[in-house]
Each structure stands twice: as C-alpha cells, then as structure tokens.
Structure 1
Amino acid sequence: MRISTAQLFSQNINSILNKQSATSQIIDQLSSGKRVNTAGDDPVAAIAIDNLSQQNALVDQYMKNIDYANNRLSLTESKLGMAETLASSTREQVLRAVNGTLSDTDRQTVADQLRGTLEELLAIANSKDESGNYLFSGFETNVQPFTFDVSGNIVYSGDNGVRSSIVASGVTIGTNVPGDSAFMNAPSGLGDFSANYLSSQVGDFNVESAKISNPATYVADTYTFTMAGANLEVRDSSSTLVTTVAGFDPSTPVQFNGIEVKLDGMPAAGDSFSITPQSSVSIFDTINQAISLIEDPNKVNTPQGKAELAQILNNIDGGVNQISTERGVSGTALKSLESYSTNHVDEKIVNSSALSLLEDLDYASAITELEKQQVALQAASSVFSKVGSVSLFDYI
C-alpha cells in the first residue's frame, strides 16, 4: 500500500502530539499531586471525588454553625448560672430579714442588699454577646429585653423566638433562651393563682396551693374567702356566694368551680383573703415584693406579712427552678453540639481518606511513566526528523 507524503507527515505529527499531551498530563499531575485533575482523567473517579468534596464542604458549614451555636450557648449557660446563684441568694436574704430580732435599720440594710441583687440580676438578663446582640431577647436581638415601665415594674420587651442553627442533615438546635422563659414565666408557687391577704388578718394561715382541678368546669374569676364563724364562705368578684364550707377544716381542700384550694393553718373568725388567676410569676416581681414586705415594719412580722412571706418564698423557689430548667436546656444543647461535632470530625476523616485513594498521585509510578513518555517522544521526534529529510533526489 502506498503512503503519500502528506499522510506520512500527518501520522508522525499526530504521534508526536499524542506523546506531548501524555507527557504534559503527567507533568500536571506531578505539579498538583493529584491523579485526577479533570473529569477526562478518570470520569468515574471524578464523579465520586465531586460528591465527596461536596459532602466535606457541607460538613465544614455544619462545623461553622456548631462553633457559632456553641459560643452563644456557652455564654447563655454561664449567664444563667450566675442568675441562678443570685436568685438563690435572695431566699436566704429574705429569711434573714424576717428574723424578729432584727431592727428596722437592719431590715432596711437587707432590703438594700436585695435591691442590689435585683439590679445585678437585671444586668445579667440584659447581657449581650460579642457582636452586641442581646442574649435573652428572642428574635429581637437589637431590643433591650428588660426595662422599667412608668410604674417602676420590670417588663419584657423581647419575644419568645428561639434562633436555630442547622448542625446536621435535618437537625437544628436552638442557640438562645428567650428572656420570658428564663425570668418571667416561672410557675406560680401556689399553682394557678396568687393570694392576696388583708392587714386585718388575725389567724396564722396562708394559702398552700390553689389549682385548677377540673378545666371543664373551671370558671375564671377572683374569689374571696371569708371565715363566718366556723364556716368558710367563698364569693366571686360580684360578691355572689359560690359555696359555703360548714365547719371548715384546713386539712380538707376547698373545691368549687373546677378549683381546689388548700390552706396551711386556720383562719380566725372574720379573716378574709382572695385568690386571683396567675399561673406564672416573674422573679423580678417576686424580689420587688420581698423588698416591699421587708421595708414595711408594720407588716413584716404580722399574720398578713407571714402569709405573704410564704407565697414569696414559694415564688422565689419557682423562679430559681425556672432559671435552672432553662440553664439545663442550654447544657443539653451544648452536649448535643459536642456529639454532632465529634460525628462530623469522624465523617470528614472518612471522606478525606476516600478522596485520597481516588485522587492522590502515586509519585513513583508517575515519574516512571513520565520517563517512558519522554523516551517515546524523543524516539518519535527522531524518526520524524529522519523520515522527513528523505528525498528522491538523493537516489537519482
């Protein structure tokens, strides 16, 4: 078969170009340290490498989210721990203040200490993170959560939003505790009501519990209890008689309109008190009530003062427990973050190991192959130069 000069040149050029391309590819691999630099190098491996790279990128984002959540939750847990300690100390201060041996000056000193504790607690509740965002304001991170209203009461201006971070596929973890959950919505010490006592109280008693026992028959209202001789009368806000307990015995709860009320102690004839629906209390209001009680020398050691004291102590306990509960929520979330972080680190190691097997270059094999390709390229170039120089005139 005859081969034209054009064919000969074309075949030799293609051979040289192929050898140059193969050599260049190996040089690229050696410079990058990767066996697969483009999909053309190994289409199947390239798809697997792309998938693993995407998984690693996702894991990296999860780890960033975990770091963010961990920082916020660690700060939140720390602040709630400080708040829990402060709130717990108020109980001891209140009990010390109602000691009958203290003078009015001594009680005022304790009241001033309680006021300082309240200010510290308020400062904690208005804490900010490193970015200047309020920790306990829910979604309203630029709004100071706790402020005084015109009446001097502490009110909550945030919301109950919980900001979440995605820490794994389909898994979100809250990164904050709303201020109302931690400081404003502690369960009432009595249950579902608060009690109001009169200065005319003579009997040594207080409301131990007041709860909704039957929601189906419950009638919301303010109810007044009055000892009429040996009987206990219960009237609603319109002074309509609701029930009369003949021969009242404080060991037996009073039940009416889906409500159950239990007293600790026996009211004297003519004693009266009322209960108002209130299922949650604020630790700030409770401390303020304690301060008012301690600063009133005409009430602190009276039957009325002792009854109010029992309710205040119960509400302090409820407030401390509420802060502790929310602190526990933060601690549980931190433990979950640690677990997810460990899982992601392990996943990243497995993915990186698989990537290494797919794309990392075997330098010894690559260098050997490079030398072979260079020898082949030199041989092809030498043959082409010699064949290309052959002329018919040399043989005439």
Structure 2
Amino acid sequence: MRVSTNMIYDRGVGSIQQQWKSILHTQQQVASGRRVLTPADDPIAAARALEIGQSKAVNSQFSVNTGYADDALKLLDSRLGSAGDVLHYVRERAVQAGNGALAAEDLRYMATDMKAQFDAMLALANSQDGVGEYIFGGYRSQQQPYSGGLAGVEYKGDQGERTIQVSASRYMPISLPGSGVFDKTLVLGMESVNMFGALSNKGEMNPGPSKPFAVSAVDAQSVRQATRYQIEYKQRDPANLSVADPASPRKEYVVQRLGVDGKAVPWTNDDLIALGWSNGATPPGLALPTGYSLSTDRTTITLNLDPTLHIPGTPPTTLNIDGLTIDIPDDPVPNPVDAPQGARLTKDEMVDGDRFEIFVPSTNLLNNMAMFASALEKPGVSGMTGAVAFALETFDAGQENLLKVRAQIGSQLTETEALTSLGGDLDLQYAATLSGLQDVDYADAISRLTQQQTYLQAAQQSFMRVSGLSLFNYLS
C-alpha cells in the first residue's frame, strides 16, 4: 500500500487528538467527581440515576411537606392546649359557684370573669396561622369561623380538613373544622337535658329520671339549644274558688324560656307552628290546643289543668314544648281539701308557687360557656344548683372532646416524626445508590489519566520522529 505524506500527517494528528479527547474526558470525571458525564458513557447507569434522582427529589419534597405538616399540627396542639387550660379554669370556677355562702355580688364577679374566659375561648376558636388562614375554619380558611358573642355563637366554616401530602400514599390533615372541636361536644338527649327544682319549693315532688316530673323525650332535631325553661306551678285553694266561677283555673303550669344571654325569648309563629299549633290556614293561623294559652307578649305558655279540661287522677300530664316532652304530675289531691282554711291534711306533691328549671345545653361549647355566664349573672329559679350541674356536665363533655382531638393530633405528630426519620433514611439510601452509579473511582481515574498522558506523549514523540523522515535530509 502506498502511504502518502498527507496520510502520515492526518493519522498522526488524529491519534494525538484522540489521546487528548481521552485525557479531557478523564480529567472532567476527576474534576466533577462523576463517572457518567453523558448517557453515552453508561446508558443503563444514566437511566437508573435519572430514576433515582427523581425519586430523591420527590422524597425531598415530601420531607419539606412533612415539616410544614409538623409545624401546622404543633400550632393546632398549642391552641387546643390553651383551650383546655381555659376550660379547666372555668370548670374550677363552676365548682366554686356551687358554694352556697357566695352572695349575689360574688356571683356577678364570677360572671364577669366567665365572660372574659368566653372571649378568650372565642379568640382561640378564631385562631389564625402564620399566613393569616383560620385553622378551625375547614376549607373556608379565609373566613372567620365563629361569629357572634354572649347572645349566641354561630359557626360559619365547613366540615373540610385541609391536607398536605407527606408520602406517596398519605395525605395528612393539617387543620380541623371547628365543628369537630368546639361543636358536637355532646349529644342532645335524655342524659344531657336536666330538670331542677327550686330550693324554696314546698311540695314533695322532686324532678328526676323515672319520676312523674321529668323530661321523658328529647327530639334532637327540633329541640332549641342553649335554652333555659322556667316552669311555675300555680294551684288555687279549692276553698277559695268562686262558686260563681267554677270553671276558673284550679291548677296550671306556666312556662317561660330564656336564651343564651338569660333574656326571655318570645315564641314566634314559626315556633308555635312547629309545635303543631296551626289551624292549617294560609297564611297559617294559631289554633292553641285545649288547655293551652299564650301570654300577650308571647313570653309565657300556660297549661291549664282545670278539671273540666283534664281528667284528674291520671298522672303524668304531658307538656310538649320545643322538641321536649315533659311529664308533669297532675297532683289530683290538692291541700287542703274541704277543710278549714290553713289546715293541712296531707303532703302535696306540688304546692302553689313551686318552680322548676330545665337546662337544654348546646352542642357548641362556646354557647354553653355564655349560658353559664348569664346564669351566674341572672340565676334562674333553681339558683346555682341547676347552673353548676349544667356547667360541670357541659364543660366535662367539652374537655373530653378536646382531649380526644388532642389525642388525634398527638398521633399525627408521632407520624410526622416517623415520616421525617423515614425520609432521612430514604434520602441516604438514594444518595448511596446514586453515588454507586455516578461517582467516579478516583484511584482508577487518576491511574487512567496518568496512563493516557503517557500515551499522548508517546503519540507526540512518535509523530515527531515519523514526520522528521524525509529524503531531503540525505541530500547534500
């Protein structure tokens, strides 16, 4: 084969450039610490490294999300802890209110304190996080969840729980709807609606379960929450009844209801229609059942037990008001009976002027706090007996609900801790795998670099020798 001078130069330069290319590649590996600089270096390792790198990036984002979730849960736990402290304090005050030695002025001072604690609890229920979102508003995080005050509080949020993804299959709630924290603290029913008698009552009838005078049924759907009912029994002495007016009332129950703030709440047409007091006309008109009457200002309902309207000796008589079914004694043998005025022949179950009080709690803890504050400021007919019992029952239910919610938050905090640890382990595992796929072996790379430098020098020297061969060197 004929070898031209151009071929010698081209081949020599090509060899030198190839050696330079090898040296440059190895030098880049040493400088970057990466064995695979391009997918062409190791297609399988490059593809695997890309997959693991993506998984590592996702895991890093999950770790960041877990940190956000942990911070949000700790804020929730802090607010719930503060709410528990407030509730513990007001419960202690409720126990103190049961001290019969306290004067009315002392109770008013306690009412002022209770109102301040109500404001503190309302502020906690409307807590915001660092970016101004309400943590107890559900999905409506931009809207204040609780509005109102001592006259009644209303929840404006929804039932949603905002979540954040902390793993491939786990979406962790980082907020709670207020309805699950401050509402739904108890179930309205026979156990939570109680009746109490006044200490000044002279009759022998004490209200209570399995007695003729008791709340025998509660319709949770139609019952009016956070309401006190004041019931007074009126019984005229038969000896004083006018002969000219034999149909005048002999016995009757007068019922008044008080709202959250302790003020009388009139019965509206809608309230009375809900009781079935409608004549079916359009617009509906009132048709009071036999024996019932309504005061002019609509603040009291009276059940007349006149013998002409009711069969004596068939206790209990049923009083249906606002979703409550109340069994009331008829007391068929009033005292005195055909006896000289002032004589006492028997002990009456009910005596003229006996008064009773029913406490219907709210499922909302805030309303129950407001209701107790009003009971301290304006005690009902049962005095502090009913108010304290009501407060202890509702506050204990609220405390139990808070503890249940805090237990859930504590469980989630434990989970975030475990996820943080697992994320760190995964990150180390991904890093180790990527290192095995991508990182250069410096001993091998430096050895190759030295070897390639030797090859380059040999190529350069040989090129110099070959390019120096010429017949002109032999001419003289």
Rounded Cα–Cα distance in structure 1 between residues aligned with 2:27 and 2:380: 96
**1:90 positional shift:** 1.6
What CA distance in whole angstroms lies between the structure 1 residues aligned with 2:215 and 2:40? 78
Deviation of 1:70 after TM superposition, in Å, equals 0.4
- Native 8 Å contact 1:189 1:311 kept in 2: no
Matched, 1:186 2:182: no
Alpha-carbon distance change, 300 to 220 in structure 1, aligned in 2, over 3 angstroms: closer
Q: Offset at 1:9?
A: 2.9
Pair 298,289 (structure 1): closer, same or farther in 2 beyond 3 Å: closer
Contact 1:235–1:243, Cα closer than 8 Å, also in 2: yes
Whether 2:365 is the aligned partner of 1:283: answer: yes
Could you report, residue by residue, the CA deviation over 1:52-107 in whole angstroms, capped at 9, with x for unpaired residues?
21111111100100010100100110110110121122222122113211101111
Cα deviation for residue 360 of structure 1 reads: 1.7
Amino acid at match of 1:180: S
| Cα shift at 1:242 | 11
Alpha-carbon separation, structure 1, partners of 2:3 and 2:450: 31
Seen in structure 2, the aligned counterparts of structure 1 residues 220 and 346 have a Cα distance that, compared at 3 Å, is closer
Q: 1:4 maps to which residue? A: 4
Q: Secondary structure at 1:90's aligned position in 2? A: helix
Contact conserved, 1:190 with 1:211, CA < 8 A, in 2?
Answer: no
Which residue identity does 1:374 align to in structure 2?
Answer: Q
After TM superposition, the structure 1 = structure 2 runs for residues 56-205 of structure 1, keeping only pairs within 5 Å, are 56-148=56-148, 152-188=151-187, 190=189, 194=193, 203-205=205-207
* CA shift in 2, pair 1:219/1:321, >3 Å: closer
Question: Residue in 1 aligned with 2:425?
Answer: 346
Percentage of matched positions with identical amino acids = 26
Equivalent AA in structure 1 for residue 148 of structure 2: F
Match of 1:295 in 2: 377
Shift of 1:390: 2.8
In 2, the alpha carbon distance for the partners of 1:394 and 1:74 equals 90
> Following TM superposition, by how much is the alpha carbon of 1:204 offset from its aligned partner in structure 2, in angstroms?
3.2
Partner of 2:345: none
Q: Quote the residue 2:32 is aligned against.
A: 32
Counterpart mapping for 1:241-390 below 5 A = 268-269=349-350, 281-297=363-379, 299-301=381-383, 306-307=385-386, 309-390=388-469
Relative to structure 1, the CA distance from residue 51 to residue 191 in structure 2 (aligned partners, 3 Å threshold; closer, same or farther) is: farther
- 3-state DSSP of counterpart to 1:86: helix
What is the CA distance between 1:237 and its match in structure 2?
5.4
1:251 maps to none
In structure 2, the gaps of 5 or more residues are 232-252, 254-304, 306-311, 332-347
On the 8 A contact 1:134/1:144 being kept in 2, the answer is yes
Unaligned 5+ segments in structure 1 are 248-266
Residue 234 of structure 1 corresponds to which residue in structure 2? 318
Deviates more, 1:225-234 or 1:291-300: 225-234
Deviation by residue 1:126-146 (Cα, 9 ceiling, x = unmatched): 222222222222222222222
RMSD: 3.7
Cα distance change on mapping 1:222 and 1:336 into 2, 3 Å: closer
Provide the C-alpha distance between the structure 2 equivalents of 1:137 and 1:153, rounded to a whole number of angstroms. Answer: 18
- Match for residue 48 of structure 1? 48
**C-alpha contact (below 8 Å) 1:188/1:315 kept by paired residues:** no
Does structure 2 conserve the Cα–Cα contact (< 8 Å) formed by 1:49 and 1:359?
A: yes
Instruction: Give the superposition deviation at 1:186.
Output: 1.1
TM-score of the two chains, using structure 2 as the length reference: 0.67
- The structural deviation recorded for 1:342 is 1.0
Contact 1:56 1:348 in 2 (8 A): yes
1:255-311 per-residue CA deviation (whole Å, 9 max, x = no partner) reads xxxxxxxxxxxx9559888898x8x6111111111111111245353xxx6345433
Contact in 2 for aligned 1:190/1:210 (Cα 8 Å): no
Q: Which amino acid aligns with 1:186?
A: T
SS in 2 for 1:136: coil
**C-alpha separation between the residues in 2 aligned to 1:389 and 1:210?**
121
Q: How many residues align?
A: 366
Distance 1:207-1:28 versus aligned 2 partners, 3 A rule: farther
Comparing both structures, which one devotes a greater share of its residues to helix?
Answer: 1
